[in-house]
Structures are given as structure tokens and as C-alpha cells.
Structure 1
């Protein structure tokens, strides 16, 4: 009796096919399975411009086979019966034996971490031995006040991002200074973990507030706040981050914290 095929191609649409493989192929070991699937993908790309695979999110072996067969991870398809990880290879993707092709493959599945850039802007009373006051924003989408800043866009410098965010949110042009603090934030409230980067925004006259033009969609208002007011208005981890950034600025603290600690 002839051996049954271990892979199957199904048409998704013109030029696009989906590859699947049987459990007996996996039983041979993932490396042996990769040899088979890689050949089938290469053969399919002769006649189609895209070959994709969808594997269970919890199936580490299937994900390994898809990856090392040259299929790039594209994302997760959420399903009620269990999420599927989507992989694909296009006919014009760089060959895996080329440095650019192999780097692109690695880049598709290696972990990525969200970065949030914020600016520590102070009033210049801090230069007269007074308690520092820090510029906080009252946000439209949450009760807690926060430092100005936001998410760093893909392929954007964090230092450029924080300057952009301050301009977009507050209508201010403030040159970002040195990095004061790197603060890792664990998963919280539906968010994945992230790295917070706090840059020095310098000391400014209190009249800076008069120049603020809040972005209505995100910012209700902004104010210079004492540390006691920071403790009252901001989330506890934000308050810790601000105190840690101030200590770093003064040269008395660390430059790395986790949730402000």
C-alpha cells in the first residue's frame, strides 16, 4: 500500500494556498518534519505567491516546524475554540540562506516589547531649593494623572517620540534631554508588559502652563504638581516612577526600576 501523504495543500484564494501536516509527520521529530514541509512550501511557491499555515497557539512543535520551514509569523487569529498562530511565506521573500532573509524570519517571531516614552518637566522653583513640582497631565481616558508622553511608534526613536508626544498632547516644544530612568512595567489591567523611558524635560517657568494647548481627545488639562499632589492624583506606580526619576536627576538614585521600585 502506498504511503499516505504527510502534508496537504488547500486553496484559500487565487494564488494563495494553506499547508497542513499530519501528526505522524510530527511524530518523526520536528527536524525531519521541517525537511518535508520546507520542500512542499518551496514547490507550492512555484505556482502560488503565498503559502500560509495556521497552527494552534499552544502547539510549540507545530510552531517550530512552521518557523524553520521558512514561514514568517504574522499574528494570532483569535477563535472561541482556541487561538491560531498565522505563518506565511511569499514567493518574493528573500531566501533563508541570505542574511536578510534569515534575519527577517527571526524578526517575525522573536519577542517584541512595547516602549512608552515620557518626559519629566519641572518648574524652575526647584532650582531655588523648593520642593520640585512636576508637570502632570489629566487624561480623558483614565482617572489617574500621568507624565506627558506616549507609546513609541514602530521604527521611531524613543527620544524623538517623547518630543513628538509632548508637542501633540500639549502644544509645547520641549527638547528632550538625557534619559533619566528605564522602568519596566509588568502586565497590568489588560496591557502586556512594557518598558517606560523617562527623559529629562528641564526646568521651566510656571508660565509654561499658559502655553499649553491640550489635545482634546486625550488631555483635559495640565498642571505643575507637588510630590504630595503626585501621590494623590497619579497611580502608585507612576508616583514611584516620578520619584525615582527625580532621584536619578539628582544623582542619588538608580537609573533602572521595575514598576518604579
Structure 2
């Protein structure tokens, strides 16, 4: 006989399943299926350090949804990992259902796309951003399901009003966790060489861009964060396709 399993209704159409120890996975799956007969959603809240319970929730077919911070469970306030199934989820033994289960807990990496645009003197186009003091290459975060190449083209058009077709990938730079940010991968695409008169066509997105100009590498060192300056130099030199924080 497995460890005790309890199912309680915590909101309209929502059941919460809990267990002690390591229950039989088959029994837990049956309890989840039974609860979905009466509820639209079945969820469980698991401690962020409780790896055994996280594995059990996954084996039971519950998809990882994220971390709920500062919740109270059994009188204790702590962060909890949320796992759940809804009635419309594909069965785990279905290929799509199994892929969805894997996709819910496997690591995901933030991607940033930037564009290296230069003038005829080799200076680099930099943007002064409204939300931080440092200058940076034009570009931004890649949306979910979006191509990095299309993302940088979209960002440059949205932020600067410039329609520039991205060329080849000139640098992949890994950014380690920093100051509250998770790690990320930055992809720098070649934006080609343009006359300085291209600045006349810039229409800055006011809530994000304060200024834009072509800069020498010495000016990049002065205006940009150190890791950004390293990335720009690595992209300009083109001698290495991959760096970590510009190194």
C-alpha cells in the first residue's frame, strides 16, 4: 500500500492533491485522473528543494507551471513549485502529451538578438537606452516562438524605425547570471555598412531609446558596460564565433 494521498477542492473547479513520502506513481495517476472527472484542474504545490516530490509530481503526469512565491501551505509560508494538469491536457502516453510534459520542466534559455551596424568609417551604431545608463547595440529579447533573426529585424524597426535586413551571425555571446537576471544567450547579426546619413531616418521609440549614434571602439568602451564593450569588440574583430561575457 502506498503512502497516503489526499485530494481537496480549493476553488471552483480546482482540486489540490497532496501526498506523504513517495506514493505509488500508478495510484497517484489514478487519483489525478479521478479528480479531473470532477474538476477542471488538479494541482500540487511542492517545496523548491524537494527533488523527490518534484520527480513524483512529474511521474504522475503533472506539468510544471512555475514557482509561486510566499504562499502559505499548512501554516508555513514559503516558495512552492506549482505542478498541474487540466482536463484538456493530452494523456502522457500520447507523444504530444509526453513532449508537453518534458517541455514543462526542461531548462529554457533567454535569447537576445542584436545587430552590428557600422558606418563607412567603421564606427558602430549604439543606442542610449531609457531604462539603464549604459549604451548598447540595437536589438532586444527574442519572443517565444520567434526566430532570432526576425527578432532583431523587428526590434531595429520598432526602436529606430530602420528597415535593415540582418545578414549572417557574427557572434554568439553567453551572458552569465547578473544582478537579478538569469543567464542568456546573445546573438549578434551583421547589419552591414551604411552612410552616416542613415541616422536622419531614425525614429526613436521614446519609451526605450533616448539617443543613437555611431561610435568608435574607444567611445564604445566609454559609453557601454564592460561586458557590452567586450562583446562589440569581439563582434567587430570577427576572430571568434563564440564568447562568454565578451571573452
TM tier, smaller: over 0.9
Question: 1:129-168 residue pairs with structure 2 within 5 A?
Answer: 132-168=122-158
TM-score (norm 1): 0.90
Could you tell me whether the CA contact under 8 Å between 2:115 and 2:139 is conserved in 1? yes
**1:175 lines up with 2:173 in the alignment:** no
- Aligned positions of 1:45-84 closer than 5 A: 45-79=36-70, 81-84=77-80
Q: In 2, distance between residues paired with 1:5 and 1:38?
A: 14
Query: Match for 1:10 among 8, 11, 22?
Result: 8
C-alpha spacing 1:151/1:89, structure 2 compared with 1 (3 Å): same
Query: What is the aligned partner in structure 1 of residue 202 from structure 2?
Result: 212
Deviation at 1:216, TM superposition (A): 0.5
Match for residue 43 of structure 1? Answer: 34
Aligned pair count reads 242
| More deviation, 158-167/48-57 | 48-57
Structure having the larger proportion of residues in strand: 2
From 21, 34, 48, the counterpart of 2:19: 21
Distance 1:112 1:34 in 2: 27
**Runs of 4+ in structure 1 over 6 Å off:** none
CA distance in 1, matches of 2:169, 2:15: 48
- Which ranges of structure 1 fall in alignment gaps of 5 or more residues? 27-31, 126-131
Q: Distance in 2 between matches of 1:138 and 1:92?
A: 46
Give ranges in structure 2 of 5+ residues lacking alignment. Answer: 72-76
* SS of corresponding position for 2:90: coil
SS of match in other structure, 2:89: coil
CA distance in 1 between partners of 2:244 and 2:59 (Å): 35
- Give TM-score scaled by structure 2 length: 0.95
Q: Secondary structure of 2:221's match?
A: helix
Aligned: 1:254 with 2:240: yes
Match of 1:196 among 163, 173, 186: 186
Q: CA RMSD in A?
A: 1.4
Aligned-pair CA distance for 1:4: 9.6
Aligned residue among 89, 97, 120 for 1:93? 89
Per the alignment, do residues 5 and 57 of structure 1 end up closer, same or farther by CA in structure 2, a change over 3 Å counting?
closer
Asked whether the equivalents of residues 2 and 24 of structure 2 are also in contact (C-alpha less than 8 Å), the reply is no
